Amino acid sequence: MGLTERFREAVTIKTDWPAGAATGDEEAEGPLIRFQEFLAREYPLFHKAAERQVLDPYAVVYRWPGQQSADQRSGKKPVLFLAHYDVVPAEAGRWTTGPFDAELRDGYVYGRGTLDMKGSLIALMEAAELLCGRGFRPREDIWFAFGGDEERSGVLGALRMAAWFEEQGVRFAWLLDEGPVIGEGHIEGLKSPAAFFGIEEKGFLSLDLTVKQHPGHASRPPDVQAAAVLAKALIRLSKRPFPRRLTPTVESFFTHLAPFIPGFRGWILRHSRLLGPLFFRAVKKNPLFAAMFKTTLAMTQLEGSAADNVLPSEVKAVVNLRLLPPRTREEAVAFVRETINDKRVEIAVHGLGTEAVSANPEQARFGGSGWADLTAALESTESGCPVFPFLMTATTDSRHYKDLTEAIFRFSPLRLNPRELAAIHGHDERVSLENLDRAARFYGALLSRL
């Protein structure tokens, strides 16, 4: 069985989480355990070389021991690779193939999770297995930590594993998690494919905005209705966005991008500071960029009464914020409260939020642990491909490890055009065999440098 067949089998293991299932649900956890066993069965050489720790269905950790024995430690820290094997559910009716059939068509494998992120995970395992077959041993320890609930919160997987590393006293020089890709055709004017390394990550916060009133018959509504109070609050929020600013990472991104963009557009990118508001207006047309300048607020849920003739006892809106570093959750709540400026609207934190994770200053300048190894590995698979530091606007499992490592990189070594990228969490998610091979070569080059 080759890479393609092993990968297709990985995709058929249905690791989406059924709606409403609770932790401990055997039917829901079964596929997660099957995936862990699949890895052990299909990658025997790696499993002989590395020590495996299964913490639970959501967490499996590997230590690939380095040549340095415990008594002659070089003082260098190990490197950690993160991945997740759970996937989001798929609306089967909207796909042109079964989302878990792993159909092979025109050089692509179709299936939920092919891009996010079983493709990268399997490519990493393939590379490790190949190196073990050649008798390779890393200089320092290499760790893998694979989670089974990234798409829900990472609390059972990543958070648990991070606590486990903390207990073991293991610290990392840098870690690599999923993230931006090698983009093709995402930025107007940029002719060549380019790699984006996510070195910074936005925070995540949802808020419940609730307005209460006396319930009753819809034939006798009060003068001031809860829904109108809530609506006013939402309009105030939409009229007062969070302030725009350039983080060092985003500024570095535009500075490095500018020479690749011809003409006036490139000139604008080069003069972000000088142009100020003009710069923001010019670049925000690209939705990829628009979210990089500010904390965003998305109105995601609205709730009122259950019947058309019943006054609600409360109306509620949920807003989801993505916090631009270094803005904290606390500051964001204060900003929302100040904007709404209405005591009738109760504001409460909804679920678990996470703080933004800033890049370390060296990273924004293309330096520090990891850059040299990552860029060399990229050069060996995508010769001449430029690399840009990037702000990750979505969350990844890596945020749970931020206190354990000197540097975090979020990058998926797949070359994707906007259409392929749009299929992540969408319909007809697919990965080309060319990309699978590219990813395996990237990880091989990277691992063999460690």
25 given a catalytic annotation: no
Closest approach of Zn ion to the CB of residue 410, in Å: 10
Residues 216-275 that bind Zn ion (CB under 5 A): none
Closest approach of Zn ion to the CB of residue 191, in Å: 29
223 given a catalytic annotation: no
Total of chain residues touching Zn ion, rule CB under 5 A: 3
Closest approach of Zn ion to the CB of residue 262, in Å: 34
Closest approach of Zn ion to the CB of residue 149, in Å: 11
Cis geometry, peptide bond prior to residue 392 (ω within 30 degrees of 0): no
Residue of closest CB approach to Zn ion: 116
Active-site residue (options: 29, 42, 86, 201): 86
Cis geometry, peptide bond prior to residue 326 (ω within 30 degrees of 0): yes
**Residue pair 171/77 in contact by the 8 Å Cβ criterion:** yes
Residues 371-390 that bind Zn ion (CB under 5 A): none
Binding mask 150-189 for Zn ion (x = CB under 5 A): ----------------------------x-----------
Nearer to Zn ion, 29 or 178 (CB): 178
Nearer to Zn ion, 148 or 444 (CB): 148
Closest approach of Zn ion to the CB of residue 198, in Å: 12
Nearer to Zn ion, 119 or 304 (CB): 119
- What's the full length of the chain, in residues? 450
Nearer to Zn ion, 180 or 444 (CB): 180
Task: Report the C-alpha gap between 378 and 382 in whole angstroms.
Answer: 6
User: Using CA atoms in the order 327, 331, 333, 338, what is the torsion angle rounded to 10 degrees?
Assistant: -120
Q: Is 117 in the site for Zn ion (CB under 5 A)?
A: yes
Q: Is 116 in the site for Zn ion (CB under 5 A)?
A: yes
Beta bridge partners of 350: 206
Nearer to Zn ion, 436 or 450 (CB): 436
Active-site residue (options: 29, 42, 140, 150): 150
Active-site positions? 86, 150
Where on the chain is the footprint of Zn ion (CB under 5 A)? 116-117, 178
